[in-house]
Structures are given as structure tokens and as C-alpha cells.
Chains A and B, each alone.
Chain A
Amino acid sequence: MSSNRKPRDKRMSIEEVVGSLESGMTIGIGGWGPRRKPMALVRAIYNSDLTDLTIVSWGGADVGLLARAGKIRKLVYAFVSLDSVPLEPNFQRARQSASIPEVVELDEGMFQTGLRAAAQRLPFLPMRAGLGSDVLVNNSWIKTVTSPYDEGHGHEELVAVPALKLDVALVHLNRADQHGNASYLGPDPYFDDLFAMAADKTYLSVEEVVDTAGLTVDTPVQRLLLSRMMVSGVVETPNGAHFTTCTPDYERDERFQRAYAAAASGSDEDWQAFHDRFLAGDEASYQAAVQAFTEENAK
């Protein structure tokens, strides 16, 4: 029995989270495209010795960075985009050079359904999406299932969307307490709760760790997306979703994103320079370099 009779304190450092991961793991990354991505954790994986990862993501620069670093053995996605830069240059580069050994491109709704199946501990869930499309041709391991019911249209043959079971989910939210209860303050929860429930372990990074009472002092209870029973570790990483959005704490850093995209679609030297300036160090040195970049460009 713990002495203070409170739930566990799950605060961890970025290094502790990444140190607990293993090569070959299946890692789901929350957020959506260039929005509320756990970028501090992604940057630390980019800089780690981890290899052969299976990455499951509605992709943005998380996928681009990990692809560029050669970390991905298998990629599961429905799209990869930076929105204001429609195509992710590092992802494009990886695909066009076939450097990701296994590629699973799903329909967006199938992706959600796969997470739902895993979250419900089901092997699959049925849906229409995918039928007739090349998603089922390019992923011939995805099966269909015949409905046992005839609703007047015969026994429909539906896609048996396989569960997207994750070893680990990484998500970034606005606020959490030290136990892992967490809220999103922006307009969209994305699918972070589904990622958490589809995973054996979930590591949560947040802009700010507050007292449990502070979570609902000025925020409706409906904004609490994650319960501590879904969360293994909490990392406080201010600006940790940079350069993606973390509304209302901050919006996307468009100027930085353009610099990233330019480096990613440029020469090897261009990328090396970007890497050396921003990515080679730890999170604190990244944030310092971003601050210097911002000040430089404000002049």
C-alpha cells in the first residue's frame, strides 16, 4: 500500500520513455497530420538507436522524421500531410525510393475502425470502406467477412478490418495530472483515446501538469479524454508538439514548417544542416534552436 494513498505519480522524462521502448515495437502516434503530434517524443526516437519500428499514424512530420532516420520497417497510414504543405517531403522521398520495407495504406475510416477493434479487444470489425478499392488489392492479407444476417440485400460481404494492436501509443495533450488523467483544450480530440486503448502502454506528453482539481477548474469535464487507467507515463514537455498545432496553447509554426519542408525536399546537405541545427541534440537544445530561429526571422 502506498503511503499517501493516492494513485501513482507517473511523471517521467523523455529519456525514460524512449529508454523503455524496444526495436521492433509497434508504436501508434496520436494527433492528426500536422496537429497535436507528440513531437518531443518523436524527436527523441529519431535520435535514438531504435530500429525496425512499425509506425501506425495519421501521418504528418512524425512519419516524415522517422522515415528520414530509417526507423520504420512497416508503416500503417491513411495519409501523410503537413496541410499547408500538402505532401510530406521526407515521406515522399522514402516511398519513391522504396526505403520502407512494408507499407500498409488504409482508408481513414478503416484506420479508425482498426483502432476501435483493438480497443475493444476484437480481432476485427466489419465495415464497407475498402470494398472495391485498391486498399484491398495492395493489402491482400485483409479479408472480407460475410454477414450472417440478410437485411433484404442478401448476405453482405464486408471488410473485416483487422485490429490495429499497438505495443505503445504516444500522444500529446494540453493538460494532465501526475496520474495520467488528461484533457484536450482544442477543437478536436482526434483519436488519442482510441490509440491509448489499442495499446499495451501509453505515454502521454502534455503542455502542463496540473493538480487533479485543476483539470476541471475552468474546463468542462467532457474535455477529459484520457483516464489514468489508460496511461503508463506522463511527460511534461512545454511546446512539445512543435511545429504542429497544440490549440489553444499554440498554433502551427508555419515558418518553421516551411524550413523543415525545404530542408526535407532539398539536397542531403540541406537536410544535414537542418539536422545539425535542430535535431542533433536533446529537446532542450531543440527548443533553444527554435527560439533562435524565431527571433532571427522576426527581425
Chain B
Amino acid sequence: MSDYTRADVCAAAIADAFSEDGEIFASPMGLLPTLGVRLARLTSNPDLVISDGESVFLGGTPPLGGKDVVEGWIPFRRVFDVVAYGKRHVMMGATQVDRHGNQNISAIGPFAQPKRQLLGSRGAPGNTVNNRTSYWVPKHSSRVFVEQVDIVSGVGPARAESAGTAASRFNDIHRIVSNLGVLDMGGADHTMRLVSVHPGVTVDEVVAATGFALEVPAEVPVTREPSYEELLLIREMLDPKGLRFKEVPND
């Protein structure tokens, strides 16, 4: 089964971001993160606690949009309790993310009068100073990966550090997975670093699609291919309708 797609690679890379989390609440925002988290639960990390994205913890691992045995109650108010409790790893979107791992989902342009108003900061400020946070970027480009975000919603390590111990103690920007590769904050002074490029993607392509000086190690590995088992789980069980291709089209 070597005919995997880019979306499958992304799902496996997202699953890998959750593989060592143990028994915590995996909280994915959006389609590919949900697919990746469910894949992790069926492979590398069966202890993950997952939800329907609404108000219940699921005892099993249903396909996207599916239902399963309920093992708990997680209405919005209790999500905030778990954020503060800390046993949570959220993977959010990012309209902008910068070299220092700051993320913006609030607005583009000046806050007083944005060029484009987005959602608002939602839970990003709280997530990033309380529990492990990763980002998913389905279209890696220099419009998303910018030198400096317009508004800091999610807090990167440098900002957390300068805000003091209370902000930095639990700040943990874990991975940034895009349609081109995997990145983390392991560069000099906790800046963004290229971890791997997806099969068929070159390092130069990632660098060209990134609007800041990305730290690129001398050897950049290729993101691992999804296994036969993973492809079977993705295609036959978790996403038989191919919803993932709406987010990461087949190239």
C-alpha cells in the first residue's frame, strides 16, 4: 500500500505528535487534527482521552462525525477546568504563526481597526500557558508563517519567558504540522526549526513557503510514511468518505 496521499502523511504526523502524551485529554480543532488524534488512539496511544468535540468523552474511537460509547461529560465549562488542570494537549489552527511560535487567530492588521476580523483569541492565550499546544496549518505559506504575528493569541516560548514563571512554567509548544512538513520550537533561543519534510517535498520548498528565517538542520529527514495498518485505519474506518482531502487535496 505505497499509494498513500499527503493527507495520510499529515494524519500520521499529527498522530505522532500525540503518541507520547499518555492518559490526557487530546483536544483537536478541525478535521485533520481530529483524524490524527483518533489514529493515535488506535495505534500509538490507546490511553488518550478523546471527545466528540461537543460535550462528551468517547469510550471508543468512532469515524469522523460518528458516535460511540460515552465515558464522560466535558461541556465547555469543564474544558476550562481541564485546561487549568493541565492534562490536555490541544492542536489548534493558526491564521498566522511566527518564528517565536506566537500564533494569531484574532485579527489581521491593527487590533483597533483590523483589515480582517477573525474569530477572536478564543482559548489560545489560556491553552498556551496551561497545557501542551500544537498547531496545524493545512496551507503552508509565507502568509501564515510570518516574521511577526499581528496579534499574539497563542503565546510562544520567548513571550512566555518574558511574562514570568507563571506564564512559562507550563508553556509547551510541541509541534507545528503543515501540509509540507513538521516543525518544532527546538531552534536557537526556542525558535522554529524544521523537523522533517513530507515525502515529495524539498527543504527548499518549505523554506520558500516560510516568511521568516527557519532553522534548518544540516540533515532534514523525510516524514515517515504511514504504515499499512494506519492506512487501513484511515481509509476503511476513520475517514472512509475522504473528508481529509477537502483540507489537504490530492496532489
Q: Mark B138-153, 1 if CB is under 8 A from A, else 0.
A: 0000000000000111
User: Would A132 and B129 be within 8 Å (CB), given that A86-B119, A92-B117, A96-B113 are in contact?
Assistant: yes
Q: Which among B57-65, B77-85, B196-204, B243-251 touches the partner chain?
A: B77-85
A264 interface hit (Cβ, 8 Å): no
Contact residues, A10-59 vs B (CB, 8 A)? 32, 59
CB pair B84–A128 under 8 Å, yes or no, is yes
* A interface residues, Cβ below 8 angstroms from B: 32, 59, 77-81, 86-87, 91-92, 95-98, 103, 105-110, 112, 127-135, 137-138, 147, 153-154, 156-158, 187-191
Cβ of A132 to closest chain B Cβ, rounded Å: 4
User: Would A108 and B163 be within 8 Å (CB), given that A129-B130, A131-B155 are in contact?
Assistant: no
Q: Mark B152-184, 1 if CB is under 8 A from A, else 0.
A: 111100011011111101110000000000000
Given A92-B117, A131-B163, 9 more pairs with CB closer than 8 A? A79-B119, A95-B114, A105-B120, A106-B121, A130-B125, A132-B167, A133-B124, A135-B121, A188-B75
CB pair B126–A190 under 8 Å, yes or no, is no
B112 interface hit (Cβ, 8 Å): yes
CB within 8 Å: A-B pair count: 144
Contact residues, B67-112 vs A (CB, 8 A)? 75-77, 80, 83-84, 106-107, 111-112
CB pair A138–B111 under 8 Å, yes or no, is yes
Closest to A186 in B: B55
CB pair A80–B114 under 8 Å, yes or no, is no
CB pair A127–B55 under 8 Å, yes or no, is no
Specify which of B56, B116, B117 lies most central, judged by the most chain A CB atoms within 10 Å of its CB.
B117
Cβ of A117 to closest chain B Cβ, rounded Å: 14
User: Would A154 and B129 be within 8 Å (CB), given that A107-B123, A109-B84, A187-B54 are in contact?
Assistant: no
